[in-house]
A and B are shown apart, each in its own frame.
Chain A
Amino acid sequence: MTGVEFEASGTEPTTSEGDVWDRRMAGLLSLLRHRLTGDYEVDEFGFDRQLTESVFLPVLRPLYRSWFRIETYGIKHLPEDGPALIVANHSGTVAMDAVMLAVAVHDEHPAQRFLRLLGADFVFRMPGLSEVARKSGGTLACNPDAERLLRAGELVGVFPEGFKGVGKPFAERYKLQRFGRGGFVSAALRTGTPIIPVSIVGAEEAYPMIGNIRPLARLLGTPYFPVTPLFPWLGPLGVVPLPSKWLIEFGEPISTEGMVDSADDPMAVFNLADQVRETIQQTLHRLLERRPDPWSA
């Protein structure tokens, strides 16, 4: 027995390394074959799980781990399976926080769950971007889609501040903006889904917006035209985010069970939205104390 093991370890080093590469190569080729022959599944929202797992997430992972050095807290608050509505603050000019939140949910959660993000219609108007958004699991932020995803037991991510959040000037960093009409709350109430408030620190410094060229934004049909310390001065290099330190905290779930009737009650919806907003704002302050230096290791 030991002899065999010895012999194996004695002769294997070169071939086993070769085997690893063989297997990787074979895996890559078979992935390519599946892609080339259309042999993969896409759900009704356009989510392409294979593409997300084999391309999108691996591309984002270095950014998540090495560039922003993201630390997460309270991942245990996400359900093992079944639906939850994840509500987070929005910041950083280009919505990098949404993408990083999706990586956090997948990589830190023991069940490697996918976050189904809800995006503004602007995203789905843009050729190219719209398809990346759908293939990575996103869909339009509207109540029918949110409720359909929640009823299917998915983790749904929403940023109620919308463009008011991502597009706010750097001077107003970590000040939560108004929470729209609270449509996300009624979606949660109608489906009896818990709401998980999430606070993200770090995105504000990744692309600090120090100016907004309104005429250019109007010309391009975008909500704003950002000026950051690097953009547009450095041209394409300006899209490189600054290496800020990120913290993401998943708060305790807020139960909405048995509140179906309140879904159409504006008062109840407003109060719940406010409660979620307050929780996120306070957690943001707490996280900022924990991270006094935005560029710390």
Chain B
Amino acid sequence: MNTPRVVLVTGVARHLGAQVAGRLAADPRVERVIGVDVTAPSGELARLLAGVELHRVDLRHPEIARLLGDEGVEAVAHLAITTAVDSQPGGRGATKELNVIGTMQLLAACQQAPELRKLVVRSSTAAYGASFRDPAVFTEDTEPRESPRGGFGRDVLDVEGYVRGFRRRCPDVVATVLRFAPFIGERTGTRLNRYFSLPVVPTVLGRDPRLQFIHADDALEVLHRAIVEPHPGTYNVAGAGVLTLSQAIRRAGRVALPVVEPGLSAVAGFAKTSGVLDFSLDQLDLFVHGRVVDTTRLVREFGFEPRPTAVAFDDFVRGAGFGPLGPGRVRAAEQSILDSIRRIREAVEGER
């Protein structure tokens, strides 16, 4: 009864958006799914989007308001908030435009949509910022002490600010903000996958941040539930438990390469201006401070427990394959040392 009949999903030209839209289209409770993005989805994503009505719309264009009204959209899932600098021509500036101005315009259009009664926004745990005075575990009520240095973190803060304003103006619309931990999964090609697949994995010298991940499949499940069920409020979405960065690198069988922080800041600055490298101050903040969130509220209200961070990560490692220091080799080395000790002892005792 509460399930919206017409759902509009933004960001369907990206993997997450396409998967969410495709899954909604397969849900018999949802009658129509409208997918929008500035670019047309690639061939691979188009397969996921069977049954989704696609529109090429820029969120910053008034057309989106017309679409919301004419089609009688009842729920909006705003997923067109991206970290990526690589996919956008124009680099960081263009990404910020889409994230922040896109959200602002979309929410303005939502305010005028007559049938709308639900809004789901993809946010990130980057909303908690990064400071040495932060508590170890963030609950949804923790205020950021210092705003993040990275562009994406700032975008997320802006986006959440707009959602707060929207909630005040449209109290009848159920608004859900999902703060996701970094995604990880079997699918290759995500930023984290690329990072953990490097021959030597750069880390910050003297820092071993606590990390949390959310399995991409569980993120989909949470998004789906947020759209078809009423869950007003803000929720942290992450796998329970923690891996430290060094531990994660070892689990992937890789070798860490600690680098002093000023060096990495310089690299991040270079990446920002040149747009060549997929590395920003967002990652650097994460790799200095780490980020752990409390998911009690999610588990209680959604009745769903994402798989633990360690399990999600191991799932990713199985898909990506181990590096040179995989558990098989380490175990073999251990065995060979034990064997050689035994042989030496036998030889010595034999002489005696």
Contact = CB atoms under 8 A, between A and B. Distances in A.
Q: Does B associate with A?
A: yes
Contacts of A25: 338, 341
B251 A148 contact: no
B325 A140 contact: no
B345 A18 contact: yes
B210 A42 contact: yes
Nearest to A148: B137
Interface residues of B, number: 38
B210 A44 contact: yes
B330 A142 contact: no
A124 B337 CA distance: 39
Interface of B: 132-137, 139, 142, 204-208, 210, 241-244, 246-251, 253, 261, 290, 292, 325-327, 330-331, 334, 337-338, 341, 345
A131 B290 CA distance: 11
A145 to B, nearest CB: 5
Interface in A119-142: 121, 124-128, 130-131, 134-135, 139-140, 142
B241 A44 contact: yes
B135 A145 contact: yes
Contact of A140 (B136, B204, B249, B261): B136
Contact of B132 (A44, A124, A131): A124
B258 to A, nearest CB: 10
B242 A44 contact: yes
B250 A38 contact: yes
B126 to A, nearest CB: 18
A122 to B, nearest CB: 9
B334 A42 contact: no
A130 B206 contact: yes
A131 to B, nearest CB: 5
Given A30-B334, A42-B242, A127-B261, A37 B327 contact: yes
A142 B145 CA distance: 13
A42 B241 CA distance: 8
Interface residues of A, number: 37
A127 B341 contact: no
Interface in A86-142: 121, 124-128, 130-131, 134-135, 139-140, 142
A39 B248 CA distance: 10
Contact of B330 (A36, A40, A125): A36
Contacts of A33: 327, 330-331, 334
B330 A38 contact: no
B136 A128 contact: no
Contact of B133 (A18, A42, A121, A128): A121
Nearest to A48: B244
Given A33-B327, A42-B210, A128-B206, 5 more contacts: A32-B334, A45-B137, A130-B132, A142-B133, A148-B137
A164 to B, nearest CB: 19
A29 interface: yes
B244 A37 contact: no
Interface in A19-77: 22, 25-26, 29-30, 32-33, 35-46, 48
A131 B258 CA distance: 14
A37 B330 contact: yes
20 contacts: A18-B345, A25-B341, A33-B334, A36-B325, A38-B243, A38-B246, A42-B210, A42-B242, A44-B137, A46-B290, A127-B205, A131-B206, A134-B210, A140-B132, A140-B134, A140-B135, A140-B136, A144-B137, A144-B139, A145-B136
A277 B139 CA distance: 32
